[in-house]
């Protein structure tokens, strides 16, 4: 939004295309399913349509790689680019509804919680729900943010994903 006043619509589209194309490559690399982009939002899911035991790890790895990728694009364009990433884990319903402009989509409380994690996160951070933290705590480093009052959820514990326990991955604060 901030860049919309500095760049032409064509430049914004090119910038988003470069960012989302890089993210698409990451989604392919980590075998994740891109669901959609809405404006400057990018949604990806693990374990859909084919279930996989490492869905949370794969999404965490992509989230870490997305921060690195965005920093690369930021340097390439010489622009201060930021993003917030939110993650949650749990059941979802996936499919196509409606009669026109068919689009594969996801629904459920897990989707809403992931969206809230992004909304309430900080720039260049990966904020995760307690369910995702519980799945990943033995392989990744986290910073507890404490309980936050999250719209539609109430007071819930949230965490920043900081990187892998073996030291690889994002360590930005």
- Which residues participate in catalysis according to the annotation? 116, 151
The radius of gyration of the chain from alpha carbons, rounded to an integer in Å, stands at: 16
Angstrom CA distances, 117 to 28, 35, 161, stand at 23, 17, 12
Q: Report the C-alpha gap between 124 and 105 in whole angstroms.
A: 26
| Virtual torsion, Cα 94, 98, 103, 109, nearest 10 deg | -30
């Amino acid at each position: 939004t901030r860049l919309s006043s500095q760049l032409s619509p064509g430049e914004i589209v090119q910038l988003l295309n470069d960012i989302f194309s890089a993210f698409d490559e990451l989604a392919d690399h980590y075998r994740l399913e891109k669901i959609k982009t809405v404006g400057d939002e990018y949604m990806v899911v693990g374990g859909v349509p084919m279930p996989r035991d490492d869905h949370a790890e794969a999404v965490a790895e992509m989230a870490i790689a997305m921060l690195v990728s965005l920093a690369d694009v930021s340097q390439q364009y010489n622009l201060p680019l930021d993003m917030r990433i939110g993650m949650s884990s749990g059941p979802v319903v996936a499919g196509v509804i409606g009669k026109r402009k068919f689009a594969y989509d996801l629904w459920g409380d897990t989707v809403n919680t992931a969206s809230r994690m992004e909304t309430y996160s900080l720039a260049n951070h990966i904020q995760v729900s307690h369910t995702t933290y519980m799945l990943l705590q033995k392989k990744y480093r986290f910073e507890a943010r404490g309980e936050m009052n999250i719209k539609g959820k109430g007071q819930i514990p949230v965490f920043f994903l900081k990187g892998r326990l073996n030291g690889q991955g994002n360590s930005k604060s």
